[in-house]
Amino acid sequence: MPTQPDILFLVLDTQRADRISAYGYPRETSPHLDALAADATFFRYGYSPAQWTVPSHTSMFTGLYPSFHRTQQSFSMAPSEIPLLAERLLAGGYYTAAFCNNPLVGVVNNGLRRGFYSFLNYSGLLTSRPNQAGVPVTLFGRYRQVFKRMVARLLQRAQDSFARSDALLEFALTPFMLPIWQTALSFKGNTSRSLNDTARLFIERKGVRRDQPIFSFVNLMGTHMPFHPQRRHLERFAPQMLRDKSARRYLRHFNSDVFGWFAPLATLMGDEQRALLDGCYDAEVATQDEQLGVFFDRMQTSGALDRTLVVVTADHGDHLGEHHFLGHSVSLYDVLVHVPLIIRDPAGALPRATVRDDFVSTRRLFHTVLTAAGLGAEHEQAYTLARDPAHDPDRGVVFAEAVTPQNVLNLMQKHKPDLVRERMCDQPRRAVWRKPYKLIETGDHHVELFDVLNDPGEMQNLQQAHPEIVKEMQNHLRTLQRQAAVAAVTNEQVINQDDPQLQRRLRALGYLE
């Protein structure tokens, strides 16, 4: 068996931390995740660097904040000069495989698939089978694979075009096209299949050399809109769906109103509608948790779990009416960027049955995984989450950045321009945490300060009460902006400039090797 650990990097797409029982949610939505957290290092305060899929995944795959990697739009491409996590692990001898349900990672051509020897995309009209490279197939099977790859490429190009074109995106949201593209993307309902394929890779190890470790990235979309939880979980968390025709009618409308998932709310959501969405979301969490329980039991029984570094997190959460928002396109409130973070480390560098209360960024999962694999450079090892919080190089300061995706913003400006201005959807947002405070800066002038430990719902703006804290937190943001301006020079340009001082500064920040 390999001397390096197998690694499972599990992203529960759109999973809010505050809806997991281990994070204090009073409803029992997640017994299996709770059990894993109790047997792992459990981070109470993990924060995503961005509010939506593409920049958040890019940060986890590069170790960089969004303003450094500059991959913040649907049309963005992860810079080729910045090696991604899978590329580093592949070069270090790992068998790299992805089991992905999110079309923004598995379909759209943004570079996030770089470095994966095998990439199984479950979202789309055609789903390829995993780990076929290197596995003997019949002549007929080989021709079938070639045909499927050709068709899949054509479909991926079409779906990629919809992500990059305002006109095509708006057309996709029309009543005629909506059921077609939702069927075509098919990013819901594949959780069990994804986890089964992942378990088979870790347990059976087909196509993997005997001495070769495995890195598997898994993205699950169980809690993402639209909501279609299992009936028995609806009975527990949203029973009105089973007895009230008006509730079922409302959810059908909600599930089909994709533009409504993006746009801010004109008025506060009614109590009945809010309770229905809350219950349906909780039922989705419970449905996915049950499937995770089967997966982890299988891994444990086979012995694979105890040789695997398990990282469980989310790319972001979701608004369900809080602060006049739905979905995850705009804000930096904690319902979006406070995410679950659980790491079970068989080597013990992150001790089991341990709770961490320090504020950390999920961008540092890049450094944590590389260090655990024995592939981290010295400056990267300094940022592993296995490091004692007393020696945190970030000094407890964590950032997040939000730019509304341009194609979504264009749609909002076309259909709801007044709400765009009122909710400042066209303004960049930056957030900084330094325990116990969090500051959100929207545009050049709007500032909010919250004590997130005592006010997790971020209801009381303390800006005027604590001007000195506001100033300190804004200084942290200005430092981040200055560092991003320096790092905007690409690695190649820096080398060509032959500026040792600039290279030292970037290397100290962790942006050069």
Question: DSSP for 51-77?
Answer: SSHHHHHHHHHHS--HHHH---STT--
The confidence band for 134, taking pLDDT boundaries of 50, 70 and 90, is very low
Q: Mean pLDDT throughout 199-222? A: 96
Which residues lie closer than 8 Å to 251 by C-beta, 6 or more apart? 227, 241, 276, 280
Instruction: Determine the pLDDT at residue 259.
Output: 81
Instruction: Determine the pLDDT at residue 146.
Output: 54
SS3 33: helix
Instruction: Determine the pLDDT at residue 487.
Output: 76
Angle CA(317)–CA(320)–CA(323) in degrees, nearest 5?
Answer: 95
Structure confidence by residue, pLDDT tens digits, 340-382: 999 999 999 999 999 999 999 999 999 999 999 999 999 999 9
7, 13, 97, 116 from 91: Cα distances, Å: 15, 27, 14, 11
CA neighbor of 170 nearest in space, from 412, 471, 453 = 412
Instruction: Determine the pLDDT at residue 189.
Output: 77
As a CATH number, domain 6-394 is: 3.40.720.10
Main-chain dihedrals φ then ψ at residue 344, nearest 5 degrees: -110, 115
Lowest mean pLDDT among 52-66, 262-276, 280-294: 262-276
Lowest mean pLDDT among 279-283, 399-403, 481-485: 481-485
Question: How many angstroms separate the first and last alpha carbons of the chain?
Answer: 30
Tell me how far apart the alpha carbons of residues 119 and 150 are, in angstroms, rounded to a whole number: 16
Instruction: Determine the pLDDT at residue 512.
Output: 47
Q: Mean pLDDT throughout 260-278? A: 90
Tell me how far apart the alpha carbons of residues 150 and 99 are, in angstroms, rounded to a whole number: 20
Tell me how far apart the alpha carbons of residues 484 and 281 are, in angstroms, rounded to a whole number: 36
SS3 200: helix
More confident call, 125 vs 471:
471
pLDDT above 80 for 36: yes
User: Which H or E element spans position 4?
Assistant: none
pLDDT above 90 for 185: no
Find out whether 116 and 96 touch, Cβ atoms under 8 Å.
yes
pLDDT above 90 for 161: no
Is the model's pTM score more than 0.75? yes
Structure confidence by residue, pLDDT tens digits, 284-343: 999 999 999 999 999 999 999 999 999 999 999 999 999 999 999 899 999 999 999 999
| Four-point Cα dihedral 495, 500, 503, 505, nearest 10 | -170
Find out whether 353 and 480 touch, Cβ atoms under 8 Å.
no
CA neighbor of 434 nearest in space, from 445, 450, 447 = 450
User: Which H or E element spans position 348?
Assistant: none
Is residue 128 classed exposed, middle or buried when 0-12, 13-18 and 19+ CB atoms within 10 A define those classes? middle
As a residue count, the chain comes to 513
User: Which H or E element spans position 359?
Assistant: strand 354-361
Structure confidence by residue, pLDDT tens digits, 440-453: 999 998 999 999 99
Q: Where are the domains of the chain?
A: 6-394
The confidence band for 1, taking pLDDT boundaries of 50, 70 and 90, is low
State how far Cα 114 lies from the chain centre: 17
The DSSP secondary-structure symbol of 125 reads S
Instruction: Determine the pLDDT at residue 167.
Output: 59
Main-chain dihedrals φ then ψ at residue 317, nearest 5 degrees: -105, -140
Instruction: Determine the pLDDT at residue 268.
Output: 84
Tell me how far apart the alpha carbons of residues 402 and 161 are, in angstroms, rounded to a whole number: 23
pLDDT above 70 for 396: yes
More confident call, 346 vs 146:
346
CA neighbor of 316 nearest in space, from 56, 492, 66 = 56
Instruction: Determine the pLDDT at residue 152.
Output: 52
Question: For residue 301, which amino acid is it?
Answer: T
Main-chain dihedrals φ then ψ at residue 359, nearest 5 degrees: -85, 125
Find out whether 393 and 383 touch, Cβ atoms under 8 Å.
yes
Tell me how far apart the alpha carbons of residues 84 and 222 are, in angstroms, rounded to a whole number: 26
Q: According to the 3-state scheme, what is the secondary structure of 393-451? A: CCCCEEEEEECCCHHHHHHHHHHCHHHHHHCCCCCCEEEEEECCEEEEEECCCEEEEEE
Structure confidence by residue, pLDDT tens digits, 483-501: 898 877 554 454 444 555 5
Find out whether 297 and 395 touch, Cβ atoms under 8 Å.
no
SS3 96: strand
Instruction: Determine the pLDDT at residue 133.
Output: 35
